[in-house]
């Protein structure tokens, strides 16, 4: 987080957004962006979400994105990247050993997290609101890639 804060002072844009994993599981994402060309940006995001009685997810990802701003200042944007997702059970976890039941501390599960998001924004001088639909993966989940979908609504400066 300290590194994130330090880079924020030097980045071209910062963002903060509300995230709805599968629409109704709330979360928040903060991001930093650096331009790599007129239409491309490199983005670093940190976020978390909660699916009550299922999962708490904490993640960070690095994305390469492209934006096109129309004369009307309407923006189309798309990002793809990779990241790390750590998920915790959102509730008690029990294990049984030789018939003895233990309430254990869940260390969580690490996952590889590919990401893909598309959306729109309305460019403003100071703060630009945006809406993205994001897909991200969680691997491994029962040896396979579990897809997630989220709505991300936020602002960037």
Residue 143 backbone zone (phi > 0: left; psi -120 to 50: alpha; other: beta): left
Q: Which of 5, 37, 72, 92 binds other proteins (CB under 8 A)?
A: 92
Q: Binding pattern to other proteins, positions 127-156, x when CB under 8 A?
A: -------------xxxxxxxxxx-------
Beta carbon nearer to other proteins, 71 or 99: 99
Q: Shortest distance, CB of residue 52 to other proteins, whole angstroms?
A: 5
Residue 107 found at the interface with other proteins (CB under 8 A): no
Return the closest-CA partner of residue 152 out of 45, 7, 5: 45
**How would you label 97-136 residue by residue, b for 16+ Cβ within 10 Å and e otherwise?**
eeeeeeeeeeeeeebebbbebebebebeeeebebebebeb
CA pseudo-torsion sign 119, 120, 126, 127: negative
Tokens describing residue 24:
């109704």
Positions in 46-75 near other proteins (CB under 8 A): 51-55
Q: Binding pattern to other proteins, positions 7-36, x when CB under 8 A?
A: ---------------xxx------------
Interface positions with other proteins (CB under 8 A): 22-24, 51-55, 89, 91-96, 99, 101, 104, 106, 109, 140-149
């Amino acid at each position: 987080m300290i590194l994130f804060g330090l880079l924020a002072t030097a980045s071209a844009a910062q963002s903060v957004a509300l995230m709805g994993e599968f629409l109704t599981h709330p979360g928040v994402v903060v991001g930093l962006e650096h331009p790599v060309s007129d239409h491309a940006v490199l983005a670093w995001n940190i976020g978390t979400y909660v699916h009550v009685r299922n999962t708490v997810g904490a993640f960070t990802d690095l994305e390469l994105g492209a934006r096109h701003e129309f004369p009307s200042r309407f923006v189309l944007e798309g990002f793809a990247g990779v990241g790390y997702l750590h998920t915790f059970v959102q509730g008690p976890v029990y294990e049984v050993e030789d018939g003895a039941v233990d309430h254990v501390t869940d260390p969580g599960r690490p996952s590889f997290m590919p990401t893909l998001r598309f959306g729109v924004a309305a460019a403003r001088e100071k703060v630009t609101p945006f809406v993205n639909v994001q897909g991200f993966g969680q691997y491994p989940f029962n040896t396979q890639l579990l897809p997630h979908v989220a709505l991300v609504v936020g602002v960037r400066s």
